[in-house]
Chains A and B, each alone.
Chain A
Amino acid sequence: MSFFGFDTALPGDKRGDSSNKGIFEHTDAFGGLQQTRKLQAFQDTENEILDFDDTYDGLADQLQETGDDLNDDTFGGGAEGPAAKDAVGKDFDFFGKTAQVSDAMNEEAMRYGLQQPSRLQQQQQQQEPRAARPTRSGYEVYQDPEYIPDIQAKSGFWSSRPQAQQQYQQPPQQAGGNERISTARPDPAPKPKMMTLEEIEAAMRGQQSPPHPQRAHFPLQAPPPGLAPHQMHQPMPPMPQPPPRQAPAPSAQSQPPPPQAQQHNQPPFQQAAQLQQQTPLQILQNPNRARHSPHPSKGQPLQVGNLPVITHPEQLMQLSEDQRRAYLEEDAKRAKRNHKIFMLSKGNGLMTPQDKNFITRIQLQQLVAATGNSVDSDSEAALVEDFYYQVYSQIRGAPRQHPTQPLGHFAQTYLFQTGGRTNNRRNAVNGDNHMQRMQQQVQRAVEAAKLKPKNKQLIIEGSLGKISFSNAKTPKPLLNIRREATSDSRPSTARKQTSTGGSDRKTVLKHIEAVYSDLMAMEDQERKMPQPPQPDSDQETITAHAEWRDELTRLNQQLWSDLKIMEPIVPGSSKTHPFIAFLSFTKGKKAVPRIFRQIDQEQRVTILTMIIVHLDQLDVIRNARPAPGETQPPAHIREEIETFSQAVQPPLMQYIGDAPINIMDGLLQLIIEHTNVINVACTRVGLVIMTLLLSRAELAKDTGDVSDEEWQQWVSHYNRLFDILEPVLPQVFPGPVNVGDDMYVWQFLAAVGIGASPEQQQRLVIAVKDRVMDTVSQSRSLPAEMSRQRLGNVNLFMRAIGLDVDMLG
């Protein structure tokens, strides 16, 4: 196949027939050289530029093409030929079209840039009126609308023809030096022969080496013997200086020198050569490749890294010692690297993309199953599947409204991402399929689970009993104890309660369990919250929400009654109030924050009032006074106190923080009238609660939303409290100065001090003066850190009454 379609098989050329075949079919792949030579001779005689069009035989037009019926659809309507181009509409897909030929366009641009000077030069040299007819320059093909820009004729590249053309077209241009070159060859092959694949590769590599490094070397070299003088001063980078560099094709150089050929009168050839030259040049501008470009030119010192390409063992023998060693080293390195790559690539391709997708799907399925998928909208199933994880994640991610939402969303995002990453339409479809299949699987599982319980038992007619099935989730019940209807059992417990006053251990434990059941039911109900009704919601949504709300209210009532908070307070009774007994259990205390979440403000203030009224009966206050001789209450009481301050105090504090002053006033009054203030004040919990009340009252006053009347009432109660507390103030501290954490006491004193009148402040100072002095003096002997902390505590109080520890010297 000739490059531009003209017949290179000249008459009389013995091997002309083989010119249409590729390398591997050739008996003599490089026989084409002679052809070229002859052609050039032929052209010399003609001494005229061949017009491309003249050489075109129009054979392609005779081809019966099939399968092009849809070309119009594909390419936007028969855009072939200039006439058809006019028919292109406004919706022409510029990008698509451009993208199709962008490679070719880039190439073209680059090629043009490189060629421009040489073309001008040619024209000047030719000095013919051809300048007026630039179409004759050989470049006119680019203006031809029918010109097919994609000249990366790869098949041509791989076939012997253009290569041979190019390779052997060059020596003639260099004009006549070939004999010397071939004599310079150490190993001249006398006859054209078959080249080995390695040799061909090496030859190609030689061609592909970019022109720039070659140019850089060029001035250093003695001009290659075969170089025509006019070429020396010609800035022609794209034309490699082939003979010296084409070492790996020794057989080629052995050809007898072709007749002198002038470059300027064979533009089509040059064209072909250049095209051929640059295509690989662009593809393979790779420094590693460049390094392999051989420089066996004599007298040229070998540069590091510039190793000749060895394609034949014989060549190795020709190299100098250094070269050989360098070559072997290089070779060893390469072998090592190849081996490494091989080792790494062992598992390559084991899994098809489908396999990988499948694995991903399995993993995602687990993810979806574990977290619940917002798509399947069955959080119920997710909860049944893994209740504790669901709740845990809900607690951990408190701000999230729906526990299943973010993780399901995450799973989806992940899924979409993997689908998108493959960026392939087919795979995207696959991704969708996976999603769908996954959803279907989940739905099927849920449906199956829903259906199961319905036929848990099978009653065969005439049989004496039921046949029950069992499975992993619902084991076959061996004992079929019917749960009593709640109404049946309730009166009995209620009766018992009234008889025992509802405070014995077992009853209280029952209350606690009932409360926990209610709490769980309510929390479940919260999770089941339907879409909040919008103004434009349909009736069904509104009804569903109303029903949900009713159920929640019912559960709230249930909880409230189970808390026994409204049990009448019997003054002077030896029995503890059920709610206070409730709080005496650790689990009762721990329930309080959860209870507070489920009840309204009024219920909260009721609970707070109940606690305040029974303040001295709380186990954490009643049992908190250390036994005589002890500085601390017993360990288990300390634990209870800790639990109380962690579980019960925060919700109370939260409520108190927003409560108005009249509630503070009422509570303070309750403390004074209903509890043993002295006992309360001697405990940590008692002091903390009183601190809360006092400081809240002060804050409310500061913010100014307190009427004078309310304030007067508060002050009168405050004064009563102060009078009660004054004598015992020195005793409220836990143990002697050197033990325990007394910060809460100083906080309490500060809260008292802020609200105190000047006269009361003085009494306050007198009451705690000893403790202050002791603490200050003791802190001097403590390490700096602890000392600062203790003085800071004291200062809480001192600053509240307008003093400072530093004033004590």
Chain B
Amino acid sequence: MADTGEQGESVSEPLDLVRLSLDEIVFVKLRGDRELKGRLHAYDSHCNLVLGEVEETIMTVEEDEQGQESVKTIKKQSEMLFVRGDSVVLISPQSPS
């Protein structure tokens, strides 16, 4: 908002680093074995995020008859996503590939 610090240049708290990734592609790891990759539109101090053009990856462990565990991944695409901050584990910049 309008009242952010005069010198946005200075990185004095962790979230200032997140700010650098605004409008960039970020990788977000969530609790519950989920990962997101998308353009960061907005964030707040609770790490609530708004992401655009998101690809969500959900990893589930499935057990077959012999007790063999296998990891399955499900991918979802979303145009726009609101992520509640309490499930965010990490946010990482991701240069467009």
**Residues from 1 to 58 in B contacting A, C-beta threshold 8 Å:** 1-2, 4-13, 19-24
Of the candidates A510, A517, A524, which one forms a contact with B11 in the assembled complex, judged by CB atoms under 8 Å apart? Answer: A510
- The reply on A520 being an interface residue by CB < 8 A is yes
Which residues of chain B are near A383, meaning CB under 8 Å?
2
Q: Give the CA-CA distance A585 to B39 in the complex, in Å.
A: 13
* Contact assessment for A490 and B10 in the assembled complex, using a CB-CB cutoff below 8 Å: yes
Q: Which residue of B lies closest to A586 (CB)?
A: B23
Q: Is the interface of B mostly helix, strand, loop or mixed?
A: loop
Q: Mark A476-492, 1 if CB is under 8 A from B, else 0.
A: 00000101101001100
Q: How far is the CB of B3 from chain A (nearest CB, A)?
A: 8
Which chain A residue has the least Cβ–Cβ distance from B20?
A: A509
Q: Is B96 in contact with chain A by the CB < 8 A criterion?
A: yes
Contact A520 B7 (CB under 8 A): no
Minimum Cβ distance to chain B for residue A767 (Å) = 37
A585–B13 CA distance with the chains assembled, in angstroms: 23
Within 8 A of B (CB), among A660-680: none
Q: Does A421 contact B (CB under 8 A)?
A: no
Report A-chain residues with C-beta under 8 Å of the C-beta of B20.
506, 509-510, 513
| A489 in contact with B2 given A509-B21, A587-B22 (CB within 8 Å) | no
Residue-wise interface mask of A (495-522) relative to B, using a CB-CB cutoff of 8 A (1 in contact, 0 not)? 0000000000110011101101110110
Interface: B68 (CB within 8 A): no
Query: Is A396 part of the contact surface with B, judged by Cβ < 8 Å?
Result: no
Alpha-carbon distance between A481 and B12 when the two chains are bound, in angstroms = 9
Residue B70 interfacial (CB < 8 Å) = no
State how many angstroms separate the Cβ of B97 from the closest Cβ of chain A. 9
* A562 closest partner in B (C-beta): B9
Question: Is B66 an interface residue, CB under 8 A from the partner?
Answer: no
| A486 with B6: CB separation less than 8 A | yes
Bound Cα distance A516, B95 (Å): 21
Please tell me if the beta carbons of B12 and A387 are within 8 angstroms of each other in the complex: no
* Residues of chain A contacted by B6 (CB below 8 angstroms): 486, 517, 521, 558
Residues of B contacting A483 with CB < 8 Å?
A: 5, 12-13
Whether A716 sits at the interface, judged by CB under 8 Å, is no
Chain A residues positioned under 8 Å from B10 (CB to CB)? 484, 486, 489-490, 493
Question: A516 near B21 (CB under 8 angstroms)?
Answer: no
Q: Which residue of B lies closest to A487 (CB)?
A: B7
- A562–B10 Cα gap in the complex (Å)? 12
Q: Determine whether the beta carbon of B7 is less than 8 Å from that of A490.
A: yes
A621-639 CB contact bits vs B (8 Å, 1 = yes)?
0000000000000001000
Q: State A623–B35 Cα separation when bound (angstroms).
A: 31
Chain A residues positioned under 8 Å from B12 (CB to CB) = 481, 483-484, 489
Q: In the complex the two chains form, what is the Cα distance from A305 to B12 in whole Å?
A: 91
Q: Which residues on B sit within 8 Å (CB–CB) of A558?
A: 6
Interface size class on chain A is 20 to 34
Chain B residues positioned under 8 Å from A518 (CB to CB): 8
CB contacts (< 8 Å) of B4 on chain A: these are 517, 520
Residues in chain B near residue A521, CB distance under 8 A: 2, 6
Bound state CA distance, A387 and B13, in angstroms? 24
| Segment 50-89 of B: residues with Cβ below 8 Å from A | none
**Beta-carbon contact of A509 and B9 below 8 Å:** no
CA distance A154 to B22 in the complex (A): 81
Residue of A nearest to B14 (CB): A481
Q: A506-B20, A587-B23 are in contact. Are A513 and B1 (CB under 8 A)?
A: no
The number of chain B residues touching the other chain, given as a range, is 20 to 34
Q: How far is the CB of B39 from chain A (nearest CB, A)?
A: 9
Contacts of B7 in A (CB 8 A): 486, 489-490, 514, 517
A627 to chain B, nearest CB (A): 16
In the complex where A587-B22, A636-B96 touch, is A513 in contact with B2 (Cβ < 8 A)? no
**Which residue from chain B places its CB closest to the CB of A639 in the assembled complex?**
B96
Whether the pair A524, B2 counts as a contact (CB closer than 8 A) is yes
In the bound complex, CA of A509 to CA of B22 (Å) = 9
Q: Chain A residue with minimal CB distance to B12?
A: A484
Q: Give complex CA distance A50, B96 in Å.
A: 114
Q: How far is the CB of A769 from chain B (nearest CB, A)?
A: 41
Q: How far is the CA of A489 from the CA of B16 in the complex (A)?
A: 13
Provide the residues of chain B in CB contact with A490, threshold 8 Å.
7, 9-10
Query: How far does the Cβ of B81 sit from chain A's closest Cβ, in whole Å?
Result: 19
Complex alpha-carbon distance, A509 and B9, angstroms: 9
Q: For A387, what are the chain B residues with a Cβ–Cβ distance below 8 Å?
A: 1-2
Residues of A near B19 (CB, < 8 A) are 513
The answer to whether B23 touches A489, judged by C-beta atoms less than 8 angstroms apart, is no
- The answer to whether A489 touches B5, judged by C-beta atoms less than 8 angstroms apart, is no
Nearest CB in chain A to that of B19: its residue:
A513
**B9 in contact with A493 (CB, 8 Å):** yes
Cβ contacts under 8 Å, B1 to chain A? 387, 520
| A516 partner residues in chain B, CB cutoff 8 A | 8
Cα distance, A484 to B21, chains bound together (Å): 21
Are B11 and A489 in contact (CB-based, < 8 A)? Answer: yes
- The CA of A513 and the CA of B95, in the complex, are separated in Å by 17
Which of A481, A514, A586 is the one whose CB lies under 8 Å from B8? A514
CA distance A91 to B24 in the complex (A): 80
**A390, closest chain B residue (CB):** B2
Q: What does the 1/0 interface line of A252-283 toward B look like (CB < 8 Å)?
A: 00000000000000000000000000000000
A490 to B13, CA, bound (A): 15
Closest to B8 in A: A517
How far is A511 from B11 in the complex, measured between Cα atoms in Å? 12
Q: What distance in Å separates the Cβ of B77 from its nearest Cβ neighbour in chain A? A: 16
B interface footprint on A710-725 (CB within 8 Å = 1, 0 otherwise): 0000000000000000
CA distance A493 to B9 in the complex (A): 8
- B69: shortest Cβ distance to chain A, in Å? 38
Give the docked Cα–Cα distance between A758 and B45 (Å). Answer: 67
- Bound-state CA distance A505–B93 (Å) is 11
A514 B22 Cβ-Cβ under 8 A: no
Query: How far is A271 from B46 in the complex, measured between Cα atoms in Å?
Result: 92
Q: Is the CB of B2 within 8 A of A511?
A: no
Task: Tell me, in angstroms, the Cα distance from A524 to B24 when the chains sit together.
Answer: 25
A517 in contact with B23 (CB, 8 Å): no
Least distance between A332 CB and chain B CB atoms (Å):
61
Q: Measured between alpha carbons, how far is A505 from B12 in the docked complex, in Å? A: 18
Could you say which residues of chain A place their CB within 8 Å of the CB of B5?
A: 483, 486, 517
A630 to B19, CA, bound (A): 36
Shortest Cβ distance from A482 into B: residue: B12
Nearest CB of chain A from residue B24's CB, rounded to whole Å = 7
Residues of B within 8 Å of A587, CB to CB, are 22-24
Known interface pairs A509-B21, A586-B23; A481-B13 also in contact (CB < 8 Å)? yes
Q: How far is the CB of B61 from chain A (nearest CB, A)?
A: 35
B95: chain A residues at CB < 8 Å are 505
* A506 CA / B19 CA spacing, docked (Å): 11
- The complex places the Cα of A396 from the Cα of B4 at a distance, in Å, of 24
Instruction: Give complex CA distance A490, B12 in Å.
Output: 11
Residues of A within 8 A of B2 (CB): 383, 387, 520-521, 523-524
Bound together, the chains give a CA A490 to CA B8 distance in angstroms of 11
A27 to chain B, nearest CB (A): 85
Question: Which chain B residues border A514 with CB–CB below 8 Å?
Answer: 7-9
Closest A residue to B1 using CB positions: A387
Q: 25 A-B residue contacts at CB 8 Å?
A: A383-B2, A387-B1, A481-B13, A483-B5, A483-B13, A484-B10, A486-B9, A489-B10, A493-B9, A510-B9, A513-B8, A517-B4, A517-B9, A518-B8, A520-B2, A520-B4, A521-B2, A521-B6, A524-B2, A558-B6, A585-B24, A586-B23, A587-B23, A587-B24, A636-B96
Q: Which 7 A-B residue pairs are closest in the complex by CB-CB distance?
A: A517-B8, A489-B10, A514-B9, A509-B20, A486-B7, A587-B23, A513-B8
Q: Interface of A with B (CB < 8 Å)?
A: 383, 387, 481, 483-484, 486, 489-490, 493, 505-506, 509-511, 513-514, 516-518, 520-521, 523-524, 558, 562, 585-587, 590, 636
B residues apposed to A, CB below 8 Å: 1-2, 4-13, 19-24, 95-96
Given contacts A513-B20, A514-B8, A558-B6, 9 further A-B contacts (CB under 8 A): A387-B1, A489-B7, A489-B9, A490-B10, A493-B10, A509-B24, A510-B8, A513-B19, A523-B2
